Amino acid sequence: MNTLVWIGFCQSLFAAILLFSKRNRSASDTILSIWLVLLSIDFISCALNYEIFKRPMLTSSFLLFNPALYLYIKSLTNPRFRVKWLQLLHLLPFLFFETYMYIIKQSFSLTTFFLPDHNFIFRLFVGSATIISWCIYNPLSLVLVHKHRMNLRNEMSTIERNENLGWVLAVGIFYVVYCILALLITVVAFYAKLNPATPHIYNYIALLILIYCTSFYGLRQKAVSQLMHLNEPQDVPYKNSNLSIETKESIKKKIINYFENEKAYLNPELNMTIVSESLKIPKYQITEVLNIEIGKSFYQFVNQYRVEAVKAMLSDSNNKYSIEAIGYDCGFSSKSSFYTVFKSMTGETPVSFRNSISPRE
């Protein structure tokens, strides 16, 4: 256990230093670095507990991880997010319980957790606060990521890995599973009379895995500054729209004509704002028509045109351009997004598609 917590301490503190010294540090980098520093303190505290008290102390690390993950995701998905002192209120439960735990020297033991002694109420408060924190912050975190990803698909024609936050969603789902398993392991360990430290060990192993994931991807994560137009107040949700059938059909025709006649999809930086300004139609109305009448998100609609243009050029035997050059000519901004989109829409890579059209002898 000592080896585990010392590794966690070194990893989280080292990653926090790297994040804090990151060039062009964003608000999300600052939050993650502070979060990792607090986690390093939690790990070193656990190591000292075994050295000083010879036993694990009652931890409230969940009360740190839950709000910290939520604030980090909020800073990534909201370009206007700024670090404010008021946000430290999210950490008050963790600081309070952690401090009071050392004052009363409350150790962690499943065999005595529910014994009605003079610290019983405190232990119940810690357990209840942890479950409440799980139930509040975990769903909020996953909803933030989901909404961000849906907004991207309705606003952008090109979505890079940095913007998609797929790794954040994976970490969020892993964390939810981790929390559920932590509860189940605690219950099983209590009734099966397993090693009382089993939940404690599991907690820090999973926490170390999460630290490795968040520090590795957090260091690579760039600020999503180019999405300043997302979540603007004037973007009325299309679900509140009352467009007539005639208006929807008119908008649909304008969109299709704009893409087929002006070939707007060839612009790699095309987004909903550009389309809205060109057609002089509010973005939410275009989104409604695309999602309801056409049955596609903006991202799917634009890239369908791009993929069809690529397929046409690949099928042309007189075309001697490289596959990458064709992708760029058809509106894709990078090789990775080109290959990813093409395979997701056709089920095969551009190379295999070209070979199926003109198989090598």
- Predicted confidence at residue 360, as pLDDT, reads 47
What phi and psi values does residue 57 have, to the nearest 5 degrees?
-95, 160
Average pLDDT over residues 194-221: 83
Average pLDDT, the chain: 85
Residues 84, 86, 168, CA angle at the centre, nearest 5°? Answer: 65
Q: What is the CA radius of gyration of the chain?
A: 26
- Predicted confidence at residue 239, as pLDDT, reads 61
Residue 224: which pLDDT band, with cuts at 50, 70 and 90? low
In the chain, the amino acid numbered 64 is L
As a three-state string, the secondary structure of 309-349 is HHHHHHHCCCCCCCHHHHHHHCCCCCHHHHHHHHHHHHCCC
- pTM of the complete model: 0.81
pLDDT over 90 (residue 139)? yes
Average pLDDT over residues 268-296: 92
pLDDT over 50 (residue 230)? no
In the three-class reduction of DSSP (H, G, I as helix; E, B as strand; rest coil), residue 107 is classed as: strand
- Predicted confidence at residue 114, as pLDDT, reads 79
For the stretch 306-335, what's the b/e string if a residue is b when 16 or more beta carbons lie within 10 angstroms of its beta carbon?
bbebbbebbeeeeeeeebeebbbebbbbee
Instruction: Decide if 330 contacts 306 (C-beta within 8 A).
Output: yes
- Predicted confidence at residue 229, as pLDDT, reads 45
In the chain, the amino acid numbered 234 is Q
pLDDT over 90 (residue 226)? no
- For 320, the token pair is 């001697």
Model pLDDT for residues 326-341, shown as the tens digit of each residue: 999 999 988 888 999 9
* Distance (Å, whole) CA 213 – CA 286: 38
In the three-class reduction of DSSP (H, G, I as helix; E, B as strand; rest coil), residue 111 is classed as: coil
Average pLDDT over residues 195-204: 75
- Predicted confidence at residue 361, as pLDDT, reads 40
Average pLDDT over residues 18-34: 87
